[in-house]
Copies of this chain bind each other. A is one copy, B any other.
């Protein structure tokens, strides 16, 4: 006795159901949910009542076929870099009050930015935010002919897509000047070596590197650039090697905070401190301001960037803007205790280093 079967499979109510219950046409229901012009208050009331009664929610998939998908794609190089998730955070917080949602597509240090962006386009997203994707400007220009795109980081001179950057040269100059002011003369630059990046795409790290070289040259100092890869602990190893190889270096300008954090790890593990080697980074990620880390950096306001990117997209999607916008954020120095005045006697802790060198043999 009793009902052994499970409840019958319920179907989500469709627009047809709403129309039937309200005794109106599908078209009118559509107008109501889109808040479109040309319908009487009475009609709106009836429809809204039916919607409430049925608990109707429109299918985004169906809407996407004709109109908007209410989703925005975000290409992101990597999810374990705090700066990137900060941008994501800003973007989602800006979307929180809208019907839009974010589809994330990590590039995974990987080959094909093209493929990633295409897969977003396949989902008929209403717009794309791309954080320094590995794609040709021409290709992006083409894609942007029928899809709003905001490129974050690269300083492309695009005509179809928007760009959002910070003034990387200014930022890097702030940092190098800061180190020079502290009396450093042997300043190394740790950066990512990426053969895939075309020089004319003006990726951030190239600009920072150029500014570094220029600023040093202006004071007649020799640049010392070290490139590293982006596999898990490659930056750490490179930093360690750098420190062991050249004891004359008293300061390291890391191309971003992630590299800087790894550099600080190397320094700490060699038994050194900021008194021995100063470190500055770029991005001002969240942990940088923690007293135990206290990393000098330059902020480009990651979360704000995420918000601006959304705003730029919505201007095109809702506002109908068609001319490309190129927004630039002014970076600000955040001087902290990872950078200190150069010490008279040079580096200490040479015992540690020698021990370390012995270990390697």
Residues of A within 8 A of B (CB): 9-10, 57-62, 64-65, 69, 71, 79-80, 82, 85-86, 88-89, 92-93, 96, 99, 101-106, 108, 110, 118-124, 146, 261, 264-265, 268-269, 286-287, 290-293
Given the known A-B contacts A79-B92, A101-B105, are A59 and B124 also in contact in the complex, defined by CB atoms under 8 Å?
yes
Q: List 26 A-B contacts (CB under 8 A).
A: A9-B146, A57-B122, A59-B124, A60-B123, A61-B69, A64-B64, A71-B123, A79-B85, A79-B89, A79-B92, A80-B85, A80-B86, A88-B104, A92-B106, A92-B108, A96-B106, A99-B119, A101-B103, A101-B104, A103-B103, A103-B104, A261-B287, A264-B291, A265-B290, A268-B290, A287-B287
Complex formed: what's the CA distance from A292 to B118 in Å?
41
Complex formed: what's the CA distance from A291 to B122 in Å?
44
Q: Is the CB of B122 within 8 A of A60?
A: yes
Q: Is the CB of A102 within 8 A of B101?
A: no
Q: Is the CB of A118 within 8 A of B65?
A: no
A7: min CB distance to chain B, Å: 8
Return the chain B residue nearest A11 by Cβ: B146
Return the chain B residue nearest A73 by Cβ: B101
Q: Count identical subunits in the complex.
A: 2
Given the known A-B contacts A85-B85, A108-B93, A124-B60, are A101 and B79 also in contact in the complex, defined by CB atoms under 8 Å?
no
Q: Which residues of B contact A86 (CB under 8 A)?
A: 80
Complex formed: what's the CA distance from A120 to B99 in Å?
11
Residue from A64, A86, A102 whose CB has the most chain B CB atoms within 10 Å = A64
Given the known A-B contacts A65-B65, A291-B269, are A57 and B146 also in contact in the complex, defined by CB atoms under 8 Å?
no
Complex formed: what's the CA distance from A190 to B265 in Å?
28
Q: Is the CB of B104 within 8 A of A92?
A: yes
Residue from A62, A69, A106, A265 whose CB has the most chain B CB atoms within 10 Å = A106
Q: Which residues of B contact A110 (CB under 8 A)?
A: 96
Complex formed: what's the CA distance from A286 to B268 in Å?
17
Complex formed: what's the CA distance from A42 to B93 in Å?
51
Q: Which residues of B contact A106 (CB under 8 A)?
A: 89, 92-93, 96
Given the known A-B contacts A60-B122, A106-B92, are A286 and B80 also in contact in the complex, defined by CB atoms under 8 Å?
yes
Complex formed: what's the CA distance from A37 to B122 in Å?
25
Q: Is the CB of A118 within 8 A of B57?
A: yes
Q: Which residues of B contact A64 (CB under 8 A)?
A: 61, 64
Complex formed: what's the CA distance from A60 to B92 in Å?
23
Q: Which residues of B contact A269 (CB under 8 A)?
A: 291
